[in-house]
Amino acid sequence: WLITGCSSGLGRALAEHALERGDRVAVTARNRASVADLAARYGDRALPLRLDVTDPESVTAAVQACEAVFGRIDVVVNNAGYGYLAAIEEGEDAAVRALFDTNVHGVVTVLKAVLPGMRDRRSGKIVNISSFGGLAAFAATGYYHATKFALEGLSESLAAELAPLGVTVTIAEPGGLRTQWAGASMQQSP
């Protein structure tokens, strides 16, 4: 497995679950130290890697390291992301671009790095973490919803493209979870 955004929340919970099952997981975060405890707990089944989805070089390095250590990547979970509270009129251009860079463009960067190996093996699973917010929208979170609606469309097209190659795509659309999404993982327009 290669899971993005494992420092907390859903990404960390997924990583711990896969590791508890006995699977091998590249646990990634922008700050490698935030996932080092997983390697201490699970040994060589947990590979802590620095991965910032907005930095293509770090994505490439993480994918290469995962493939070098584990031999291949069977499952990719595109989990890294965050929320942004702002009325559409109040959204700050730089903050909105950064949100899209993480929640949409970051997913694309990871996909482009892992798909050649999956295509060559004609197998693999991709799980894109969207949100209930990719199906319905509410006031003050329009930009977040826009990123998740984009991820929905991207994932549906990707599934059609990859089905003949033996690679599956799953869109996870969770609702409210007890994570830091509304805390440390939430930014807000002033």
Short-list 22, 24, 19, CA closest to 65: 24
* Helix H or strand E segment including 26: strand 25-29
Structure letter (DSSP) for residue 136: -
Strand 2-3 and strand 75-78: the pairing is parallel
> Do 25 and 4 meet the contact criterion of CB atoms below 8 Å apart?
no
- Active-site pick, 7, 130, 131, 155: 130
144 an active-site residue? yes
Structure letter (DSSP) for residue 177: -
Beta carbons within 10 angstroms of residue 139's beta carbon: 7
The alpha helices in 43-141, defined as continuous H runs, are 56-70, 93-100, 106-121
- Active-site pick, 84, 143, 148, 155: 148
148 an active-site residue? yes
First to last CA, the chain: 38
- Amino acid, single-letter form, for residue 95: A
Catalytic residues: 130, 144, 148
